[in-house]
Amino acid sequence: MSDDLILLGHDVPAASRRVRPLLRESRTFAVITLVVVIVVLWESAKLLFHLPDRKLPHIGSILLEFGTRTQGGSGPYWGVLMLNNAAATLGEALTGFVLGGVLGCLLAVVFTASPLLERGLLPYVVGSQLVPILAIAPMVVIGMGHLGAPDWLSKAIIAAYLTFFPVTIGMLRGLRSAPPDSLPLMHSYAASSSQIFWKLRLPASLPYLFTALKIAATASIIGSIIGELPVGAARGIGVVVVNAAQYYNSRPQNLWAAVLVASLLGLCFYGAVVLAERLIVGPQAQT
């Protein structure tokens, strides 16, 4: 199970990496084509099957929604409010990302150091993802609140709950990914275990860590929306989704636009991690 969550992060098969420049061109083209195809299919389906706006609003009206003014026409543009909400969600997600990332790395380091702890805890790290977090999100928020955590932190903790898992698994694999002979080599230098960690295990684990962080990035956005949606919040994409769903019948485009923003938010975060990977691991990093 662990392996493939990691695999989700890759999209370019190893064999085709050699023909990268060519591929990238054809890929950009293919993506653009697919976007065009979707738009055409969307609008023609609407036309052909007489789909009402309630089922499928026009793409144009979804995009135009961002330019409407709120508060009865005198407030800020809806797009601006959406940025505000997206920022709140991103703030929770980033905190959760960092918390989950740190926890995941720590767990992986501990597991590498102690097989006993690994055997004792790893099954529950995997099992933790079986818990329907949405169902217990309200209990988490109330429980954390009882312990004194502010609301945004409770949501960040839910995000961290979804984030730490891929990081633990990915980092664990990464720390064990050092080439077979490199450990005896370090021993031959009489390297201390902390030297082995900093000079061998950690650098070797970076590509794995980043693959995991890419998954974690999107998971943290999902986590913070899961925290906002059932529990409510002052701001956030989750709040917009609830509100937009409530008023869907009169303004369906709001909900579609909110989903669009949520997806873009996830993509941007993902892209930011890819960028960080290129900067840190180097240009040979996989997408």
Partner 1 sequence: MQRQKRFAALPIVALFALVLAACGQTPATTSPAATAVAGSTDTVATMAPAMTMAATDAATMAPAMTMAATDAATMAPAMTIAATDAATMAPAMTSTTAAAAPAAGGPKDKVTLQLKWVAQGQFAGYYAAKEKGFYDAENLDVTLRPGGPDIVPEQVVAGGQAQFGLDWLPSLLSNREQGVPLVNIAQVFQRSGMREISFKDKNINAPTDLKGKKVGVWVGGNEFELYAALAKNNIDKDKDVSIVSQKFDMNAFLGGELDAASAMTFNEYYQVLAAGHKPEEFNVIDFNKEGTAMLEDGIFTTESFLQDAKNKDIAARFLRASFKGWDYCRDNAADCVKIVLKNDASGVMKADAQRWQIDEINKLIYPLPSCAKGIGYMCPDAFKQTADIAQKFGVIKKAPDDKAYTQEIWQMASAKQ
Partner 2 sequence: MAVVQANLKQLSPAARGRAFAWRWGPALATLLLVLVLWEVGVRLFHVAVYLLPPPSLIGARLLERGSFLLGIGLYTFEEALWGFIIGCSLGAAVAVLSVRWRWIAHGLLPFAVASNAVPIIALAPLVGIWFGSTTQGSKIVIVAIMTFFPTLLNTYRGLLSPAPEALELMHSYAATSTQSFLKLRVPAALPFLFNALKISATLSIIGAIVSEFFGGPLKALGVYITSQAGIGHYAEAWAAIVVACGLGMAFYLVIVVAERLVMPWNTTGES
CB of 236 to partner 2, least distance (A): 11
Binding of residue 177 to partner 2 (CB under 8 A): no
Q: Distance of alpha carbon 276 from its chain centroid, rounded?
A: 15
CB of 27 to partner 1, least distance (A): 27
Of 144, 257, 259, 266, whose CA–CA distance to 216 is shortest?
A: 266
Q: Collapsing DSSP states into helix, strand and coil, what is residue 89?
A: helix
Q: Which of residues 199-258 bind partner 1 (CB under 8 A)?
A: 199, 202-204, 206, 228-235, 238-240, 242-251, 254
| Distance, CA of 76 to CA of 92 (rounded, Å) | 23
- What contacts 149, CB < 8 A, 6 or more positions away? 157
DSSP 109-149: HHHHH-HHHHHHHHHHHHHGGGS-HHHHHHHHHHHHHHTT-
Q: How far apart are the first and last CA of the chain?
A: 21
Q: Which of residues 24-53 bind partner 2 (CB under 8 A)?
A: 26-27, 30-31, 33-34
- What contacts 243, CB < 8 A, 6 or more positions away? 254
Q: State the number of binding residues for partner 1 (CB under 8 A).
A: 71
| Distance, CA of 151 to CA of 137 (rounded, Å) | 12
Among 76, 123, 150, 282, binds partner 2 (CB under 8 A): 123
Binding of residue 221 to partner 2 (CB under 8 A): yes
Q: Give the one entry of partner 2, partner 1, none that residue 131 binds, where binding means its C-beta sits below a cut-off of 5 to 8 angstroms depending on kind.
A: partner 2
Among 80, 119, 203, 280, binds partner 2 (CB under 8 A): 119
Residue 93 or 200 having the CB closest to partner 2: 93
Q: Collapsing DSSP states into helix, strand and coil, what is residue 189?
A: coil
Return residues touching partner 2 (CB under 8 A).
1-5, 7-11, 13, 15, 23, 26-27, 30-31, 33-34, 54-55, 116-117, 119-124, 126-127, 129-136, 138-139, 142-143, 146, 215, 217-218, 221-222, 225-226, 229-230, 237-238, 241, 244-245, 248, 255-256, 258-259, 262-263, 265-267, 269-270
